[in-house]
Amino acid sequence: MRPSRSLLPLLLLLPLASASLEDVKDVQLSVHNDNVSDLQRNNFVPGSSKKLTEHLLGQHNMNAPPDGILDVHYEMELVHILGIDELKQTMTALVYVDEKWQDPSLSWNPEEFGGLTKTWLPMHRIWLPDIIIFNMLHHEDLLSKVRAPAMIYANGTVECSHPAVYTVSCEINIKHFPLDDQRCSLEIASWAYNEEKIRLHAHIEHSLEHYSPNEEWRLLNVTVHEQDYEHEGILVSEIRYDISVRRKPLFYMVTLTFPSYVMCAISVVGLYARFSTTGEREERFTLGVTAILTMAVLSLVVSEKVPHSSTSVPLLVAYFLFNMVVVSLAAMMTGLVMRVHRMGRHGDEPPRWALSLFLLTPRSHKDVRGNCWQTTFGDQLIFEQKCVENGGTASRKVQLLEAFVRKLIDVCENTQNELDDVGHEDVRRTVRMRHEANGFVRISERLDWIFMLFFLVLVTVPVVVLFALM
């Protein structure tokens, strides 16, 4: 019988399935053979690690230091500057500490323990040197709740590594705040052992390998010095890590310096702007006092940030005090300008040398239109008067007098009409023009420009210098 058409696909897939099963067996066998080769290559002996740990803890005394002079290789890697507190004068930093020394009581023969060349032992079960940071105020061991082991090599080399957060005392120099550079030191030494027992050797191969920048402080450099330090009459070996940083002043320049400059500039312009011609400008003093109070408030904000020191004044506080003095002088000079302005209210004129001193020329104050009308009317009045006197008979004189009176009435009516046509605005304009032409008023205007430019330059130069030093 011939097979049905539905079985033909199954018959065709049987060779492929058998081939795939053989491939899977080959892969499993190859992986097993690789693992076996790795075990053979490592020469793994079951129980050798336990045997080695028991051997080392049996021959090692955690209370006894190694014999002779112990050379401790110390390396501190700076990871991150958490912050600098100017008021408390402290620096907090995250570091990785690596210590290496040699302890003969923790050495072994690798051939006796399955070829093991290194192992790990708990830190609390072995002897550790009492190396601390002398100027430390607070210490937080990040592995205090973790069973962190120490790495032990067959030749007796012990390596202990751990991360920690240290808060150290640091002398803060606020003279150039916020354009200041600070240097904080970490003084590392043994507390009890002198240099005849423990000698420290610094390593800086990986001191900045994992460093992450701080938002406020820019790291300049890290220097390491090996020196001797006398502690309670004992000369000990010491390592000093000097961390130099520079403040990023953008925050203080934008939030304090620039607003202070804008306030001072607006105050100076407001004090000497020609917004009034009457001489009654007492509101200038109010503006000046407001600016001075604003400077005082900003200086209080800065004083809360920096240490309360009497040795030096911070640069930013000195800048605010300078602005207060400048605005105060500008307000006082406004009184002088107002005094000169008032001297010309009643039409008094200054001497020629005063006008020449401010590069001004005298002006004429004659009202041309009024003088011409007064001359024409006077000439006509004299002419009519002579005609009446020389008129001859009485009737002729009466006629001439009547004509003169009618002309006088016409002239008065025309004058009234002209005054009505002029209006109050023209009268005020004319009075203002006469007032502005006064010599004392022109001198006060020139003083306004001189003082405004002078004090604007005086408050602009310091802020430009501060931004240039950023």
Per residue, what are the HEC states of the chain?
A: CCCCHHHHHHHHHHHHHHHHHHHHHHHHHHHHHHHHHHHHHHCCCCCHHHHHHHHHHHHCCCCCCCCCCEEEEEEEEEEEEEEEECCCCEEEEEEEEEEEEECHHHCCCHHHHCCCCEEEEEHHHCCCCCEEECCEEEEEECCCCCCCEEEEECCCEEEEEEEEEEEEECCCCCCCCCCCEEEEEEEEEECCCCCCCEEEEEECCCCCCCCCCCCCEEEEEEEEEEEEEEECCEEEEEEEEEEEEEECCHHHHHHHHHHHHHHHHHHHHHHHCCCCCCCCCCHHHHHHHHHHHHHHHHHHHHHCCCCCCCCCCCHHHHHHHHHHHHHHHHHHHHHHHHHHHHCCCCCCCCCHHHHHHCCCCCCCCCCHHHHHHHHHHHHHHHHHHHHHHCCCCHHHHHHHHHHHHHHHHHHHHHHHHHHHHHHHHHHHHHHHHHHHCCHHHHHHHHHHHHHHHHHHHHHHHHHHHHHHCC
pLDDT at 355 over 60: yes
pLDDT computed for residue 9 by the predictor: 39
What share of the chain in percent tops pLDDT 90?
38
Whole-model pTM: value is 0.69
CA distance 465 to 431: 47
pLDDT at site 18: 43
Q: What's the mean pLDDT when you consider all of the chain?
A: 78
Least confident of 170-179, 203-212, 247-256: 203-212
The one-letter amino acid code at 274 reads R
d(CA 103, CA 126): 10
Taking residues 85-110, what's their average pLDDT? 93
Average pLDDT over residues 319-348: 83
pLDDT at 63 over 80: yes
User: Quick check: 248 pLDDT over 80?
Assistant: yes
* pLDDT tops 90 at residue 395: no
Question: Where in the sequence of the chain do the CATH 2.70.170.10 domains occur?
Answer: 50-247
Residue 461 has pLDDT above 80, yes or no: yes
Which CATH architecture best describes the domain 251-348+454-469? Up-down Bundle (1.20)
CB 260, CB 323: distance < 8 Å: yes
Q: Which of 131-145, 269-283, 389-403, 447-461 is most confident?
A: 447-461
- Top-tier CATH class for 50-247: mainly beta
Which residues in the chain are classed under CATH 1.20.58? 251-348+454-469
